[in-house]
Amino acid sequence: MPVPVLCQVGPRTAGSDCGVCRGPAGPGYARCYQCGRHDLLGAGLLADAVVPVSYAVKGTTWAADLWRYKSGPAPDAAARASVRAVLLAFLRDHGACVWRQAAMPPPTYLAVVPTGCGRPGPHPLLRLVGPHLSLSLAALVIRPGRQGRDFDPGRFRAARLPDDASVLLVEDSWVSGASAQSAAAALRRAGARQVAIVVAGRHLNPADPHTAALAARLTAVPYDPSVCAVHLPSAAR
């Protein structure tokens, strides 16, 4: 398949973006508004690290792929292949960077953030990457009536995990991060010692005044295995 074209997320430039999700942060702030709010509401329950692979800039092919790979009764096969290739390549190239950022050993469990609509059956993302990762499944389900846009530690339910469990939590698209951090909270409450979130696409809308400047700096290029949101070029992997 063609090499996916992305706006990959490189190491953070101090003061220019959120230290958690890598979205735009106000001058002098270490976090964006949403991640700051999560920190206030979810102390002790949030993920140990959030690592976005790429920005999903509205109107780009990658942003469209992250919608088309799971949309409708017949998801787009090319989009599915693209999403699978990017996530598996990133985990191969930079999984160790993620675990180091989260101060955790390699994960023993895999979880996927459920969709807000409560789609029945396994999540499409789990179908794509699960068979290629030798990890036990930490199943997450949404509680009826708990859909929403705010952080909610009771939104999802997870089966009990061993006290030493370390979990790789995969999310396709991050807008506010409320769903992903709510899922991390559910895993924590189920016993997980450590949780690392890997995000395929951190959503950006160029028409939004808050994100326009960041989106304007980005250039889409073929996937580059040397680029990682937490891997400094001089750091040993």
* pLDDT per position as a tens digit, 83-106: 999 999 999 999 999 999 999 999
**Predicted pLDDT of residue 116:** 67
Asked whether residue 32 is domain-assigned, the answer is no
- pLDDT tens-digit readout, 149-159: 789 999 999 99
Asked whether residue 155 is domain-assigned, the answer is yes
DSSP 17: B
* Residues composing the chain: 237
Q: Are 158 and 44 in contact (CB under 8 A)?
A: no
Q: What's the average model confidence in pLDDT over 41-64?
A: 96
Q: What's the average model confidence in pLDDT over 25-37?
A: 91
Q: What's the average model confidence in pLDDT over 60-72?
A: 92
**Predicted pLDDT of residue 11:** 87
Mean pLDDT of the chain: 91
Alpha carbon distances (Å) from 224 to 77, 86, 174: 23, 10, 21
Per the structure, the complete domain to which residue 109 belongs is given by 5-25+44-222
Asked whether residue 39 is domain-assigned, the answer is no
Assign residue 172 the CATH number of its domain: 3.40.50.2020
> Is pLDDT of 60 > 70?
yes
Q: Please report which confidence band the pLDDT of residue 119 belongs to, taking 50, 70 and 90 as the band edges.
A: low
> Is pLDDT of 237 > 50?
no
How many domains are contained in the chain? 1
Please report, rounded to a whole number, the percentage of residues in the chain having pLDDT higher than 90: 78
- pLDDT tens-digit readout, 178-208: 999 999 999 999 999 999 999 999 999 999 9
Q: Please report which confidence band the pLDDT of residue 232 belongs to, taking 50, 70 and 90 as the band edges.
A: low
Rounded to whole angstroms, how far apart are CA atoms 224 and 90?
A: 9
The one-letter amino acid at 47? A
Asked whether residue 151 is domain-assigned, the answer is yes
Asked whether residue 20 is domain-assigned, the answer is yes
Please report, rounded to a whole number, the percentage of residues in the chain having pLDDT higher than 70: 93
> Is pLDDT of 121 > 90?
no
Asked whether residue 170 is domain-assigned, the answer is yes
Alpha carbon distances (Å) from 83 to 67, 97, 170: 10, 20, 12
Q: Are 166 and 105 in contact (CB under 8 A)?
A: yes
Q: Are 152 and 146 in contact (CB under 8 A)?
A: yes
> Is pLDDT of 1 > 60?
no
What is the per-residue DSSP string for 146-174?
A: ---SS--TTSEEE----TT-EEEEEEEEE
Asked whether residue 31 is domain-assigned, the answer is no
Q: What's the average model confidence in pLDDT over 19-35?
A: 91
**Predicted pLDDT of residue 187:** 98
Q: Are 186 and 158 in contact (CB under 8 A)?
A: yes
Q: What's the average model confidence in pLDDT over 54-83?
A: 93
Asked whether residue 147 is domain-assigned, the answer is yes
**Predicted pLDDT of residue 132:** 97
**Predicted pLDDT of residue 15:** 62
How far apart, in Å, do the first and last CA atoms of the chain sit?
28
Q: Please report which confidence band the pLDDT of residue 235 belongs to, taking 50, 70 and 90 as the band edges.
A: very low
> Is pLDDT of 230 > 60?
yes
